[in-house]
A and B are shown apart, each in its own frame.
Chain A
Amino acid sequence: MSLAMAFRLGWRNLWRHPRRTLLTALAFSLGVFLLIISLGLGDGMHEKMIETGVRVGSGHVVIEPADARSTVDELHYLSADTAAAAERLLHQADLREMVRGVAPRLLASGLLSSANNSTGVQVVGAVPDRERGVTLLPEKIVEGTFLEETGRTPSTVIGSALANKLGVGLGSKVVLMTQAGSEIQSQLLRVRGIFSTGMEDVDLRLVSMRIEDLQLAIQRDGAVSHLAIFLDGSERTEEVRRLVAQRIERGFDGDPPSVLSWQEAMPELAQFIVIDDAGNYLFNGVLLFMVALGVLNTILMAVLERRREFSLLLAIGMRPFEIAAMVMAESFLLTGVGTIVGLVLGWSLHAYWAIHGLDFSGAMDQGLSVAGVSVDPIVYSYLYPGRIRWTLIFVAILGFAASLYPAVRAARTAPSEATQG
């Protein structure tokens, strides 16, 4: 018996009990459907968190002074020369294609005071043109501009929560107290922009000013804390990190700066994603196991009630493995139909949610955050490449496993059963 024949027989056998076949296929397609949409929502949520994290933090890939994370004896800066040399490397054609933007930053910590109140802040010195279109703050400005206006007093932009706390508004003056060399200095700043990201930590603690103003305030001429590199999505992070690291190692003698991916720069977020993914896999695995038992049940029933038929086939000379092939073809077609239906439905819903998003704000009215990154209540479905392929492989293995036992049972039917009546 040819394989095509096995499939034709299997297909006909399936439709001897259309209701049973449809119900089982329905259960299977429901499992595949749930798998696709839960992967889509999980990946979508993670990708959004990564994007928010990198856009408010140090980019998909960051170039920072070697040892910045391991030793604590000194504050570390890239000198103006090093930063410029590193930027030149990033302008090479192959990298430019993948890189959406590069932003040099200078970081400092200080105490920001108004006449009413004072609070500790993290100050980011930035180049406004380089931040625009890539990072989060310029987009989230609700009043004023992102460091565009200048005046005699250096400009600053602060978060809405910080503005409330200090009781200041657009045009107000604030004093930044920070370490400059070996002493503490005060710098008068004027608030020329207010942003609101919805992330409590960011809106309350982050302050941005022009990098040259901050360099002057902390007396570090030309210094840069890191170069943040932004990509179009997180998938090519590792590729870019490796390329940049290679170039830097070749381009610098002595102490080259280190190159980190967002996973290394934000380990807590990376760990959350690994654990959350593991939880999703477990859930989906058990779900599909349950569905596979349903397939096993249906095929086994179909086999056991056709013992007479199998023994007759054996009696007229069909070989046991051919019967097994027929049963497996039957189960393959059953799971195949279920998979296709589930895939089509799941993919359609995924495609819809990829554009329109699924709004969870009813379930999480307070706004949630994980590892310091806010979770957006509107999740846009997204599937990492390879997800569909792995889903299909996984489902095929399950379907195969569920058909093995019924196939063996069918093949072992005694030919005498038919003759005994």
Chain B
Amino acid sequence: MDSVLLRIGWRNLWRNPRRTAITALAIAVGMIMLAFVLSLMAGMKRDLINQGTQLMLGQVQIHKRDYRPDRSIFDTVPLDGRALADQLLDRDDIFGAAPRVSAFGLVSSGDKSLGAEIVGMDRDAESQVTTLGRKLEAGDLPGRGERTIAVGRSLANTLGVSPGSELILLTQAADGSLGNDLYTVSGIFRTGLEMVDGGMVVLDLGVAQELLALEAGRIHEIALRSTSPARAMEVAAAIEQSLGVEDISVAPWQELAPQLAGWVAMSDSWMWIMYLIVFVLAAISVLNTMLMAVFERLREFGVMAAVGMQPRTIITMVLAEVISLALVSLLVATILGAPLVHWITNSGIDLSATTDGISMSGTVVDPVIRGAWAPAEFAVAAGLLVVCAALAGLYPATRAARTDPARLTRGEIR
């Protein structure tokens, strides 16, 4: 494009500064809203995945192939589980490996009892993978070898227990007997997930294995923490390959929590709907403004055509004006929008007055909703705006180029 035409386009834009300013503002408001929503969605996506994987899930889990979804206590990993966990820690891409056993049982205190999941975990290994250990309201998770138990807040409420109280666990053990034992409550956790707070109790791994009549090497799952949730699929595939045991499955969080992956996929499709709406409205604004600008200057285009300017050149000139308008809108959007995105990223919207966290598909959404900088999405949005404006400008530009110089000389155009 000729730089002279660009300059003319730019100058033409400012022949009616008020109109340009209003149009640019309308488009900028749409772009700011878009950036705001994109940032919020990126932030929520990040938080959902982090919360979902950090609380209990881990980014990758290892099981015996048949273990999920029935979780039978007989289906233990067909290798020495504790040794396998230690061995995995030698890998460069694994920062934590937590072996666990799990079973269902009846938890009783006095004349009250509840069915709950009993999870045996190693406190130190677990702290490298999940954040359950940081969700304690009182006390702590059971330490290695301690015959104590940690329970969720709602389970503690229902049974009326507090740290120091005693609980009886009753469960089916792997040798066919009824496992039955007495434990002191060591801590109470509160995660916000009713399934966990009201339906899970935690024992030390070794103590739980004793209750379930499982030998020290027999475990049900190993939860892993890798570099980032985004790499979980690769890491899972690599581990499965390096283990090379047919009967072991290594699954990333997307497979373990399909509902969580479903939310992420849905927020991505919602994003495209947002793009569509904002750009259709922006295109109408551009079209309207440019039509006005072209029709009030028909005389000028007629003169240009009369002195020999090519229609193609006139089109280029009008398009230069349109693209300048889009760029000015982007500039306004950046100047006004950056502080907004900065605010939503750093401070977030605090909804704790309305809620203390909502569980969505097995994950707790934090009451403070924060955004994230999403450079790729912002760039796509900016690029789409320019393309969209250029498309909307095509019709006014061709109209301008088709001005008939003869009509000008006949005085039909004022």
Interface residues of A (CB under 8 A from B): 19-20, 23-24, 26-27, 30-31, 34, 72-73, 75, 109-113, 116-122, 161, 164-165, 167, 177-179, 181-184, 200-201, 205, 268, 271-272, 274-275, 283, 286-287, 289-291, 293-294, 296-298, 300-301, 304-305, 360, 363-372
A404 to B22, CA, bound (A): 15
* Complex alpha-carbon distance, A122 and B30, angstroms: 49
Given contacts A23-B284, A294-B284, whether A120 and B291 have CB atoms under 8 Å apart is no
Query: Across the interface, which residues of B come within 8 angstroms of A118, CB to CB?
Result: 104-105, 171-172
Are B359 and A111 closer than 8 Å at their CB atoms?
Answer: no
Nearest A residue to B193, CB-CB:
A372
Do B26 and A290 touch (CB < 8 A)? yes
Cβ-based interface call for B196 (8 A): no
**In the assembled complex, how far is the CB of residue A372 from the closest CB belonging to chain B, in whole angstroms?**
7
CA distance A119 to B18 in the complex (A): 70
B230 within 8 A of A: no
A275, B354: Cβ atoms closer than 8 Å? yes
Give Cα A420–Cα B90 distance, bound, in whole angstroms: 89
Q: Is the CB of B19 within 8 A of A73?
A: no
| A161 and B354 contact, CB distance less than 8 A | no
Contact B72 A117 (CB under 8 A): yes
Chain A CB within 8 A of B2 CB: no
Q: Are B37 and A24 in contact (CB under 8 A)?
A: no
Contact between B18 and A364, CB atoms less than 8 A apart: no
* A-B contacts besides A27-B284, A111-B104, A283-B37, 17 pairs, CB < 8 Å: A27-B288, A75-B112, A109-B114, A120-B116, A121-B115, A200-B259, A274-B355, A283-B33, A287-B281, A290-B285, A305-B296, A363-B265, A363-B269, A367-B259, A368-B361, A369-B361, A370-B358
User: Of A177, A275, A301, which one neighbours B355 at CB under 8 angstroms?
Assistant: A275
Q: Please tell me if the beta carbons of A271 and B358 are within 8 angstroms of each other in the complex.
A: yes
Give the Cβ gap from B328 to chain A, nearest Cβ, in Å: 15
Cα–Cα distance between A272 and B270 once the two chains are bound (Å):
18
Q: How many A-B residue contacts, CB cutoff 8 Å?
A: 181
Contact A368 B288 (CB under 8 A): no
**Known: A184-B113, A268-B358. Is A20-B292 also a contact (CB below 8 A)?**
yes
Asked whether, in the complex, the Cβ of A110 is within 8 Å of the Cβ of B106, the reply is yes
- Complex Cα spacing A178 to B170, Å: 11
Tell me whether A297 and B26 are in contact (CB under 8 A).
yes
Pick from A177, A178, A290, A370: contact of B359, CB below 8 A: A370
State which of A73, A111, A161, A366 has its C-beta within 8 Å of the C-beta of B259. Answer: A366
What residue of chain A has the Cβ atom nearest to residue B103's Cβ?
Answer: A118
Interface assignment of B266: CB less than 8 Å from any CB of chain A: yes
Q: Which residues of A contact B71 (CB under 8 A)?
A: 117, 165
| Contact (A181, B354) CB under 8 Å given A30-B281, A363-B269 | no
User: What is the bound-complex CA distance between A21 and B23, given in angstroms?
Assistant: 16
| Closest Cβ–Cβ distance, residue A334 to chain B (whole Å) | 12
Task: Verify B25–A372 contact, CB threshold 8 A.
Answer: no
Closest to A365 in B: B262
Given contacts A120-B104, A179-B111, A179-B113, whether A274 and B288 have CB atoms under 8 Å apart is: no
Say how far A178's CB is from chain B's closest CB, in angstroms: 7
Q: Contact check, A182 vs B111: say whether CB atoms are below 8 A apart.
A: yes
Which interface residue of A26, A118, A272 has the most chain B CB atoms within 10 A?
A118
